[in-house]
Amino acid sequence: MDRFVCVRMIQANAMDLTRFQFDYDMSFAVTFLNADGTVYGRYGSRSATGDEADRDISLAGLKSTLEAVLALHEDYPSNRELLSGKQPRPVARTRPEQFPGLGRYPPAVDFAGQPVASCLHCHQIQEAMRLEWRERGETAPEKVLYPWPMPETVGFSMDPATLATVDAVEKGTAAEKAGLRPGDSIAEAGGQAVVSTADLQWVLHHAGEAENVGLTIQRDETSLNLGLELEKGWRKQSDIAWRVSTWDLRRMVLGGMFLETVGREERSKLGIEQGRMALRARHVGEFGEHAVAKSAGLRKGDIIVGFDGSEADLNESALIARILQEHQAGGEVEVVALREGERLEVRLKVQ
Amino acid sequence: MDHALRNSLFALVALAAGPAPASGQEPKTRVEQVREDQAAFEDSAEWIYNNLEEGTAAARSSGKPLLVVHRCVP
């Protein structure tokens, strides 16, 4: 650690968005830079605390990343080309406070007075990006709805204890078709040096609607080039349920419900056919705009079997995205639920 | 893994969340969590606390790379 200058930022107030571009839903994110602003890499993926703290990150993995970053720093600037794709992209708003609704925050946390109320959180940037599209009455692009896709989105997972080693590959996915195998070490993606899972997410985040992403992998002693074919709609496989900013999406289109998919066995007991919608209301909001479902008569534990005229077996992430893309604020959707064997039909306001 | 490095990395990742309260203890308020984090890092020899300009200047003068952690404390 003493080979780095370590800076701990605990606020997004006045964050330079032209410089710091990472998954703003995370509560822990690391950016490695040269003093001239060149980004060497990013670290931090999905989990950071709680029971799932070691699901995507680990001390061993971070140590590997630190070593890889030091090697990149050693070679800099002769490796500029390898780093070029990792550099921040142009953004319309250069500070979070420029987004509607975030202008009320001071330029720094008020430690002496109100440190919590004055703190602009990173996830608020993510929420503001989506809300901006919503309030314009426009449909947010998939890149905004499904930001920073995890590798699972395209069919593989990473071993968090390593720099960038593939842990598992799912059958029938883009990863398997590309020829990726467990144990492969990903050295480059999209022509960029990879020092973490977050670096892979960066490549996927900026990938097109349909694109072939080149991967350079190390398998045993051999270096191989593979092509990861992303087909139209690939981002829709993203799971956004874990994201803090998804709470605001639940307010918009689910009336404040947090839905989880009902398992196969329970479906059978409930008499719900496989392939049909079965989403349990794990939580129903109680206050303000998050209490729309509650006000409509829905309760925690209700099983949602129909939403907006569809009984298709969607998970919560896919349902949220579908409703967001098809309904603007002010509309209504019909919801069908099961409660103790009874069938309920209610209408929910979309916000 | 080297013990000192492990401690440093652990502080980097975990300290902000604070230790879980012992049984019967009130959980820390969000303000207390911020203050605890500030106390742990502000006077640290290893960390520059919440000051990117100072960090960038230090990286420039030392020739070391910057490691910038964004950590949501409260």
Model confidence pLDDT, tens digit, residues A12-60: 999 999 999 999 999 899 999 999 999 999 999 987 556 666 788 899 9
Pick from B8, B17, B70: CB nearest A9: B70
Is B50 within 8 Å of A10 when comparing Cβ atoms? yes
- Bridging pattern class, strands A185-189 and A211-219: antiparallel
Contact flag B70-A48 (C-beta cutoff 8 Å): no
User: With an 8 Å Cβ cutoff, are B51 and A7 in contact?
Assistant: yes
CB distance A7–B52 less than 8 Å? yes
Q: What share of chain B is helix, strand, coil (3-state, %, to 5)?
A: 55, 10, 35
Are residues B74 and A115, on separate chains, in Cβ contact within 8 Å? yes
Q: Where are the alpha helices (DSSP H) in chain A?
A: 59-75, 80-84, 122-135, 142-145, 174-178, 197-205, 246-253, 264-270, 292-296, 316-326
Instruction: Judge contact between A30 and B68, C-beta under 8 A.
Output: yes
CB-CB under 8 Å, B35 with A4: no
Beta bridge partners of A71: none
- pLDDT for B16 equals 41
Mean model confidence pLDDT for chain A: 94
| Residue among A327, A337, A332 nearest A349 (CA) | A332
Residue A91: count of CB within 10 angstroms of its CB:
12
Q: Chain B residue closest to A31 (CA)? A: B68
Taking an 8 Å cut-off on Cβ atoms, the answer to whether A123 and B55 are in contact is no
Asked if residue A96 has pLDDT above 90, the reply is: yes
A122 reaches B (C-beta below 8 A): yes
Distance from CA of A128 to the nearest CA of B (A): 17
**Which of A53-57, A210-214, A343-347, B24-28 is predicted with the least confidence, judged by mean pLDDT?**
B24-28
Mean pLDDT of A83-110: 95
| Inter-chain residue contact B70 with A29, CB threshold 8 Å | yes
Among residues of chain A, what percentage have pLDDT more than 90? 87
Least reliable range by pLDDT among A100-104, A208-212, B16-20, B30-34:
B16-20
CA distances from residue A141 to A138, A244, A285 in whole angstroms, order as listed: 9, 19, 27
- pLDDT value at residue B40: 87
Task: Number of A to B CB contacts under 8 A, please give it.
Answer: 152
Per-position pLDDT tens, chain B of length 74 = 555 555 666 566 554 444 445 556 777 888 888 888 888 888 888 999 999 999 999 999 999 999 999 998 86
Rounded to whole angstroms, the Cα distance separating A54 from A49 reads: 8
Nearest chain A residue to B61 by CA distance is: A35
Residues in chain B closer than 8 A to A111 (CB atoms): 34, 38
- What share of chain A in percent tops pLDDT 70? 98
Burial of A179 (0-12, 13-18, 19+ CB in 10 A): middle
Q: What distance in Å separates residue B51's CA from the closest CA in chain A?
A: 7
Pick among B2, B28, B70, B71 to test the A interface (most A CBs inside 10 A): B70
Mean pLDDT of A164-173: 97
Comparing CB atoms, the residue among A4, A62, A119 nearest residue B65 is A4
- B40 vs A contacts (CB less than 8 Å): none
The amino acid at A121: H
- Rounded to the nearest 5°, which phi and psi values hold at B69? -100, 130
User: pLDDT band at A244, cuts 50/70/90?
Assistant: very high
Tell me the mean pLDDT in the region A203-229: 97
